[in-house]
Structure 1
Amino acid sequence: MIKSYSIQNSLALEITLDKHTENQASVKITLNEADYQPKVDAKLKDYAKKANIKGFRPGKAPVGIVKKMYGTSVLVEEINTILSEELNNYLKAQSFRILGEPLPEIEDADAIDWKNQKTFDFTYRIGFVEDVQVQVDASLAATAYEIELDEKTIQDTITNLREQNGEKVDAEASAEGDSLKGVLKAVNGEFEEEVSFELSAVNEKSLKKFLGLKVGDIVEFDPSKTISANLAETFNVSEEDVAKLAGPCTLIVEKISRTQPVELNQEFFDRAFGPGVVSTEEEFEAKVKELLAENYNRELRVFADEELKKTLLAQANIQLPEEFLKEWLIRSNEGKVSTEEVEREYPAYARQLSWSLISNAIAKANDIQATHEEVLARTRAMIREQMGMYGMSEQIEQYMDTFVDNYLKEKEGNNYMQMLTSIQNDKVLDFVREKAEAATEVVTVEKFKSMLEN
C-alpha cells in the first residue's frame, strides 16, 4: 500500500507499508533531493546571515563556505525532521493502533553516504494491533463480592489493635507471643552476639522448647531448622554472620518481654479513631467491624476486578507483536534492562498492555471519560488516607490543595496521567459489571482467603 503526503515544496513524498504478519510491518520512506534540498538551502542561508566565521565580517560569509562547514549536519537535521513529521502523520492516518515506537533499521542508517547520496531510503519496523473488539452484555461472566464478618475475625482484630498499642513488660516465664533477649553462641563456631527475637519467628514444631523459659536458662537449637523467618532479619545480623549460625547454637536468656494489651478506655478510643468518635466498648467494636468490612470489601473489589479483566482478556484474545515489543523495550531503555529481564517481565507487561487496549476501546465506544475534578477528588482521598495513618489528618486540610498540586505535578505529570487512567479503568469496569448484570456473592473471610490461594 502506498500513500503520499504533500510537503512544503509541493512534491509527493512516497511512503510504503509492507505487512509481514498480522501485527508487524515495515514502513519505507523514500526522499529525493527535491524533497529536502529547498529546506537545507534555506537553513544554510539563515546560518550565513548569523555565522561569525574567521576572515569574514559577521553575517557576510559566503553560503558556499557555510555549506562546506555545516552542510552535512544541516542535511541530517532537516531529513530527520521530515522523517519524524511524515512518519508520524502517516501512522496517525492508519486504522490500526501502533504499539511502542517505530524502530529504524540500524543497518540501513549505517550505510548512508551523507556527502554523496541524493536519494535516501529509510525503513522502520512497527508493531500494531487492529481494532479491539469486546462484547459487553449479559452474556459476560461477572461477579461482585461482599464480605460477611465472623465474630472471631472481629475479636482477633481488636486483640491485635490492643497489642499494637500496648506496652512491653518483663515476664517471669516465656509464653507464645513473647520476645527473648540473650546471648546467642555457636556451639562449634566463632559466632557470639547478643540478640533479640520474637517467638513468633520460631516454627510450630520447635516452639515447645522455648516456652516456660526463665532468665538465666540455656536453650540449645539449630537456627536454620528452628526459625521459620529470615535469619538475618530475625536476629538483626549480617548475611556473613548467618553462615556462622549453621549447626547447633545456645541461647542464654537475659530478658523475657511481653506485650501488655492497652486498656479499652477513652484514651485508646481517641487514639485509634480520633477524639470523640467512639465512647464505649460497644461503639468501639462496631467501628472496628465497619472499618474491617470496608477494607475487606475494597480487597474483594480488587479481586473481582482482576477476575473481570481475565474474562475480557480471554474474550478479546489480542495478539501482540511479541518479538517487536521485546526488542523495542530493550532498545528504548538504552541498556538499562537486559534481554533476560525483558523475557522475565514481558508476560506482566503484555497483560497490562492488552488490558489498556481493551479498556480504551470500551471507553471510546461508550464515551467513558475521567474528569479533572475526579482526579483532584481521588488524589485528596489518597492523601487523607496516607496522612491519616500518621495521625496528621486534622492538620493537613489547610494545606490540601498544595499537597494535591505538588503530587500531580511530580514525575513530569505522570502522576496526573496515572490517576486519570486509574479512574477511567474503574469507570470501565463499573460499566462492564453493570452491562453484564453481575450477581453479588456474599463470602466469609475464610472463603475469601481460599479464593486468593486458588
Structure 2
Amino acid sequence: MNITREQVDALNAVVTVAVSKEDYKQKVDKVLQDYRKNASIPGFRKGAVPMSLIVKQYGKAVLLDEVNKLLQTSLNDYLVEEKLDILGNPLPKVTEDFNWDADDFSFEFELGLAPEFSVDLGAKNKVVKYNITADETMLNEQVERIQKQFGKLISKEKSEEGDDIRGTFTNEEKGINAEATISSDIFKTKTTGKKFLGKKVGDVVTVSTKGLFDDDHKLMDYLKVGHDDVHGLDVEVNFTISEINTSEKAELNQELFDKLFGEGVVTSVEQLKEKIKEDAEQQFGSQADQKFLNDVTESLIENTKFELPAEFLVKWLQTAGETTLTAEEAEAEYKKSENGLRYQLIEGKVITENGLQITFDDLKAYTAEVIKKQMAQFGQLDPSQEDVDNIVARVLSNKDEVKRLSEQVMSEKMLNLFKEKVKYKTKDVTYQEFVKEMYGE
C-alpha cells in the first residue's frame, strides 16, 4: 500500500491511497473460507460448497467490505503519523467509472486542514468587566420585600394604593398569558396605576404596553415577553384580577433576623443590609463573569483572523448529518456555525498553549462544591465529607454528567485565564445599569 499527499493550498490537500491485491487478498480469502465453512446451499453438504460458487455469490461484497476497512485504518493511521490537523472528515472523491474488477485500486480523499494562527490574549480590545453593586435603593427594596414576605397577609375586597394585586395579563394576538402580582406603583405613570385602584376580584383592567414601565425590559418579567419583542411593543393587554391582598409588614426585630439567618447571626438592620448586599453581589458576580466570558469570546472571534477551508466544509456538511443537505442548505448551515467553529479552534489553541487540562481531582473538587451548594439550599449546611464523597461518586459514574461538569470546569479555567491575561476595563454599575448594558435600549 502506498499513500501520497498533494498539497492543494494551505487549507486543502488530496490524499491518494493506492491499494494492491497483496494488501487485501489474504483477508478476503479468509472471510470467504469462513463463509464456505458455514454456507448452507441446497445440493451441497455444509462445508463442501465449491469455492467458485462462494466467490460468485459473496466475493464482490466481501472485497468491498475488506477494502473499505483497510482504507479507514490506513487513512486514520496516516493522519496520526503525519500529525495532520483536519476539519471535518476526509471526503472520498467520486470516480464514475471505478473498476472493482481490477486487482489494484486507487482512492482519493479531499482534506480540509486547520489553519495556522496565533491568539493574542493581551491585545487591545473593547471588553469591559462589570462590577455590579447593590445600591441603597435595591437594599431598601429587599428589606421591604422581606418585611412583606414574612408579614401577615390580609385579603381585601377592593384594591387600594400599596396592595398586592394578583391576576393574569392576556393578549390573544401576541400569545400573552402571564400570571403576575403587581401594585399600582410599579407603572411608569400614576395615571396607569390609578386604573388598578378601587377594583374587585374578577374586574378586568385594560392597559397599553407602550410606555407601561420605566424600563421596557420589565415586560419580560411581568408579561413573560421575549427580549426581542419588548422594544417597541405596542398592544393592549387585559389584566384579570384574581386576588387582592395587603400585608402587615413584619417588624425588623431579632425574631425576624433569627428566622432568616439563624440565631444571633444578624442583630441589626445595618447587618441585615450587609448580609443582603453580600448575597446579592455574589449572585451578581456570577452574571458579570458570564458576560465577561461571552464578551471575551466575541472579541477573540472578531480579532483573531484566519481563513477556513469554506468550500470543503460546505461540501462536508452536505453528508455529515443524519439527512443529506443540498448545496444551498449546507451553505446556510456553514454560515450559522462558522463563528462556533472559529471559537472551537481558538479555544483549542488557548487550552493547549496555556496547559489548561482537566484532571480527575479538578472534576471531583468542582463536583463536590456544586453538591455542597445544592445541599445548602435545602438546609444541609454542614454535610459530612463521607456523604459528599458518596454523592460525587454517583454523579461521576454518569457519562453525561461527567461531560457537562467537565465543560463547566473548563469554562471556569478559561474565565480565570481571561481575568489574568486579557486587557479589559472595569466598570462599576448597579444591577439595573448592568441589565441595560446587557440588553441595550
Class of the TM-score when normalised by the shorter of the 2 chains: 0.7 to 0.9
Q: Is the 8 A contact 2:167 2:181 kept in 1?
A: no
**What is the rounded CA distance, in whole Å, between the counterparts of 1:146 and 1:118 in structure 2?**
71
Residue 452 of structure 1 corresponds to which residue in structure 2? 438
1:263-297 superposed Cα distances (whole Å, 9 cap, x missing partner) = 65667656655677546544332222112221222
**What is the rounded CA distance, in whole Å, between the counterparts of 1:342 and 1:434 in structure 2?**
39
Amino acid at match of 1:296: F
Secondary structure in structure 2 of the residue aligned to 1:320: coil
Pick aligned residue for 2:22 from 34, 37, 54: 34
**What is the rounded CA distance, in whole Å, between the counterparts of 1:296 and 1:36 in structure 2?**
64
List alignment gaps of at least 5 residues for structure 1.
Answer: 1-11, 187-194, 235-245
Where do residues 206-217 of structure 1 align in structure 2 (5 Å cutoff)?
A: 207-208=192-193, 210-215=195-200
Q: Is the 8 A contact 1:13 1:35 kept in 2?
A: no
Q: Is the 8 A contact 1:95 1:130 kept in 2?
A: no
**What is the rounded CA distance, in whole Å, between the counterparts of 1:255 and 1:161 in structure 2?**
20
Pick aligned residue for 2:6 from 17, 25, 29: 17
Amino acid at match of 2:20: N
Note the C-alpha offset of 1:376. Answer: 1.6
Residue 75 of structure 1 corresponds to which residue in structure 2? 63
Where do residues 158-197 of structure 1 align in structure 2 (5 Å cutoff)?
A: 158-161=143-146, 169-171=154-156, 172-175=158-161, 178-180=164-166
1:379 equivalent to 2:361? Answer: no
Residue 129 of structure 1 corresponds to which residue in structure 2? 114
Which of 441-450 and 135-144 deviates more?
135-144
Note the C-alpha offset of 1:374. Answer: 0.8
Secondary structure in structure 1 of the residue aligned to 2:308: coil
**What is the rounded CA distance, in whole Å, between the counterparts of 1:344 and 1:427 in structure 2?**
33
**What is the rounded CA distance, in whole Å, between the counterparts of 1:345 and 1:271 in structure 2?**
55
Q: Is the 8 A contact 1:209 1:219 kept in 2?
A: no
**What is the rounded CA distance, in whole Å, between the counterparts of 1:85 and 1:347 in structure 2?**
32
Identity %: 25
- Change beyond 3 A, Cα 1:359–1:169: same
TM-score (structure 1 length as normaliser): 0.71
Secondary structure in structure 1 of the residue aligned to 2:15: strand
**What is the rounded CA distance, in whole Å, between the counterparts of 1:443 and 1:316 in structure 2?**
28
Secondary structure in structure 1 of the residue aligned to 2:280: helix
Where do residues 316-331 of structure 1 align in structure 2 (5 Å cutoff)?
A: 316-329=304-317, 331=319
TM-score (structure 2 length as normaliser): 0.73
**What is the rounded CA distance, in whole Å, between the counterparts of 2:378 and 2:330 in structure 1?**
38
Which of 96-105 and 161-170 deviates more?
161-170
Note the C-alpha offset of 1:249. Answer: 7.6
- Change beyond 3 A, Cα 1:215–1:309: closer
- Change beyond 3 A, Cα 1:399–1:333: farther
Where do residues 299-448 of structure 1 align in structure 2 (5 Å cutoff)?
A: 299-329=287-317, 331-335=319-323, 349-391=337-379, 399-410=387-398, 413-436=399-422, 438=423, 441-445=426-430, 446-448=432-434
**What is the rounded CA distance, in whole Å, between the counterparts of 1:435 and 1:248 in structure 2?**
50
**What is the rounded CA distance, in whole Å, between the counterparts of 2:121 and 2:278 in structure 1?**
34
Q: Is the 8 A contact 1:174 1:256 kept in 2?
A: no
Secondary structure in structure 1 of the residue aligned to 2:17: strand
Amino acid at match of 1:448: F
Amino acid at match of 1:441: T
Secondary structure in structure 1 of the residue aligned to 2:117: coil
**What is the rounded CA distance, in whole Å, between the counterparts of 2:113 and 2:433 in structure 1?**
42
Note the C-alpha offset of 1:78. Answer: 1.0
Secondary structure in structure 1 of the residue aligned to 2:340: helix
Residue 228 of structure 2 corresponds to which residue in structure 1? none
Secondary structure in structure 1 of the residue aligned to 2:357: coil
Q: Is the 8 A contact 2:205 2:239 kept in 1?
A: yes
1:399-453 superposed Cα distances (whole Å, 9 cap, x missing partner) = 544543444444xx354345334434543453454345x4662512155334324
Note the C-alpha offset of 1:81. Answer: 0.9
**What is the rounded CA distance, in whole Å, between the counterparts of 1:442 and 1:178 in structure 2?**
36
Secondary structure in structure 1 of the residue aligned to 2:120: coil
Residue 239 of structure 1 corresponds to which residue in structure 2? none
- Change beyond 3 A, Cα 1:22–1:280: same
Residue 5 of structure 1 corresponds to which residue in structure 2? none
Which of 198-207 and 288-297 deviates more?
198-207
Secondary structure in structure 1 of the residue aligned to 2:406: helix
1:17-76 superposed Cα distances (whole Å, 9 cap, x missing partner) = 352x54344434333333322221122223434555555555454433333333233212
**What is the rounded CA distance, in whole Å, between the counterparts of 1:84 and 1:372 in structure 2?**
32
Where do residues 3-152 of structure 1 align in structure 2 (5 Å cutoff)?
A: 12-19=1-8, 22-51=10-39, 55-94=43-82, 96-105=84-93, 107-108=94-95, 112=98, 114=100, 116-137=101-122, 144-152=129-137
Q: Is the 8 A contact 2:3 2:15 kept in 1?
A: no
- Change beyond 3 A, Cα 1:181–1:71: same
Q: Is the 8 A contact 1:145 1:300 kept in 2?
A: yes
1:128-163 superposed Cα distances (whole Å, 9 cap, x missing partner) = 223331235576776654334321122233444555
**What is the rounded CA distance, in whole Å, between the counterparts of 2:303 and 2:254 in structure 1?**
55
**What is the rounded CA distance, in whole Å, between the counterparts of 1:330 and 1:396 in structure 2?**
54
Residue 229 of structure 2 corresponds to which residue in structure 1? none
